[in-house]
Amino acid sequence: MNNESSTPACLTEISGRIKELRVILDISAMDMAKDINVPYETYNNYESGCKDIPISVLYNIAGRLGVDVTVLMTGEDPKMASAAVCRKGRGVQVVRYPGYEYSSLAYNFKGRTIEPLLVTIDASKPLSAQVSHSGQEFNYVIEGIMKVTVGTSEYLLNEGDSIYFDASIPHSQIAIPDGDNSIARFITIIQDI
């Protein structure tokens, strides 16, 4: 299993797991695209590793394949059903969008309905464009300063501040440099409803 002390889970590894499971289950790429409600070309880009897979789409793919999303992220089934502890620095890293480093904090809990992630963004690195996905999202700043854009509204958040928003509205987060610190870290909790 990949964790923060080893190589992050690559997009190509996740895409490879998706394709392997889809083929084993004898589901065509066309049917998979239709079942998860994305255009066929977009799905092919996800499965080939050419395009980042939004977390909500990853959940839809996992649901269609009948596996926990952790299987797609790590290649292993989650083990815990009543409680799962994630020790400092041991979350599973997942490459999601350029400029964002994600660490899944509940990867080992079976059947989770929310996805808590530790996110690090660096003002010195280029970021991806705004994203949107189904459900709701919560961000809590634990280090640095960041600007959160939700639609056309911008919110400046400092350490200890939080924001909750409709994730179907295009949104993004950027780190705001503060002296020598160009990093912002925040906890995000995504509920795909």
Decide if pLDDT at 17 tops 90: yes
Instruction: Flag the least confident range among 23-27, 58-62, 161-165.
Output: 58-62
Helix, strand, coil proportions of the chain in percent (round to 5)?
A: 25, 30, 45
Give domain status of residue 87, yes or no. no
What is the spatial distance between Cα 91 and Cα 188, in angstroms, rounded to a whole number?
Answer: 14
Give domain status of residue 105, yes or no. no
Domain C-terminal end among 50, 74, 98: 74
User: Could you tell me the CATH number of the domain that includes residue 154?
Assistant: 2.60.120.10
Q: What is the residue range of 157's domain?
A: 113-191
Is there a single domain that holds both residue 133 and residue 183? yes
Give domain status of residue 66, yes or no. yes
Decide if pLDDT at 9 tops 80: no
**Number of domains present in the structure of the chain:** 2
DSSP classification of residue 109 = B
Provide mean pLDDT across the span 70-87: 86
Count CB-CB contacts under 10 A for residue 159.
15
What is the spatial distance between Cα 192 and Cα 59, in angstroms, rounded to a whole number?
Answer: 8
> Which parts of 36-167 fold into alpha helices (H)?
40-47, 55-65, 69-74
**pLDDT tens digits, 143-171:** 999 999 999 999 999 999 999 999 999 99
- Half-sphere CA count of 49, side-chain side, radius 13 A: 11
Give domain status of residue 177, yes or no. yes
pTM of the complete model beyond 0.85: no
Length of the chain: 193
Task: Check if the beta carbon of residue 67 is closer than 8 Å to that of residue 25.
Answer: no
